[in-house]
Amino acid sequence: MPGFSTLDWIAISWFVLAWAGYSAMTELSATGRRGLNARMHRYREQWMREMLARENRIMDGQIMASLQNGTAFFASTSLLAVGGSLALLRSTPDVSHIYAALPFGSQPEPGLLEVKIGGLLVIFIYAFFKFAWSYRLFNYAAILLGATPAAHEKQKRGTKAAMERLARMITLAGQHFNRGQRAFFFALGYLGWFVNGWVLILTTLAVLIVTVLRQFGPVSRWVIETGPG
């Protein structure tokens, strides 16, 4: 691709591999099953068991609403980020001149700058779709919560299946939320590419270390050791 140096190719390849590798580790590997995200599914199952014992489920509805509101906030934020990226893409010549005036900057080729901004735009669009789908899944989960039999009917046939179905739906919504949030984290690392390839490599490494520590670090181990199951 015109304007791409060998360092750029190495840096962007490292960025993609780091993101894909971390996603695979947390969602597909045995290591991921010991992580915080996987552990939270057991807490969701515990929540559903406690919910079945309650006649008054106002609190459960409020928890569901808070999950929906948080997801809606991130979906709205990702749309703002998409709008900002489109504005940058439209003003590439002006951005290029501003970029050249920065202490670390050298005026990049317009085509290369457009590719970098386009990549950022793709990341935020991906994040929006993940957050929007997560919000929709939380809506479905709220409906399933309302359809769960009352406490005095918990021995009713199909009640356990309804509980498990609701837990899986909330977990699926949480998975998509996590993917959208992960896109935000790696978008911060991607910003390093606007300086140069070396900075992209370093910022991607920093994001990777932070996300791994949050997923498998001391606090996560404490939750794993003291949680249900």
Check residue 194 and give its pLDDT.
Answer: 85
Q: Quick check: pTM over 0.85? A: yes
Sign of the alpha-carbon torsion through 213, 216, 221, 227: positive
Instruction: Write out the E strands in the chain.
Output: none
C-alpha–C-alpha distance, residues 69 and 64, integer Å: 9
In the chain, domain spans: 6-226
Cβ atoms of residues 220 and 214 within 8 Å: yes
Single-letter code of the amino acid located at 51: M
Which is nearest to 185 in space by CA: 167, 211, 148, 224? 211
Phi and psi angles of residue 89, each rounded to the nearest 5 degrees, phi first? -65, -35
Which is nearest to 22 in space by CA: 211, 171, 224? 211
**In the Cβ-directed half-sphere of 137, how many Cα atoms lie within 13 Å?**
20
Phi-psi region of 156 (alpha: psi -120 to 50; beta: other; left: phi over 0): beta
pLDDT tens for the chain, residues 1 to 229: 556 788 889 999 999 999 999 999 998 888 888 888 888 888 888 888 888 888 888 898 999 999 999 999 999 999 999 999 998 888 777 667 666 666 665 566 767 888 889 999 999 999 999 999 999 999 999 999 988 888 777 677 778 888 889 999 999 999 999 999 999 999 999 999 888 889 999 999 999 999 998 888 776 666 666 655 5
Terminal CA-to-CA distance of the chain, rounded, Å? 51
C-alpha–C-alpha distance, residues 105 and 90, integer Å: 20
Residue with tokens 């910022």: 203
C-alpha–C-alpha distance, residues 64 and 49, integer Å: 15
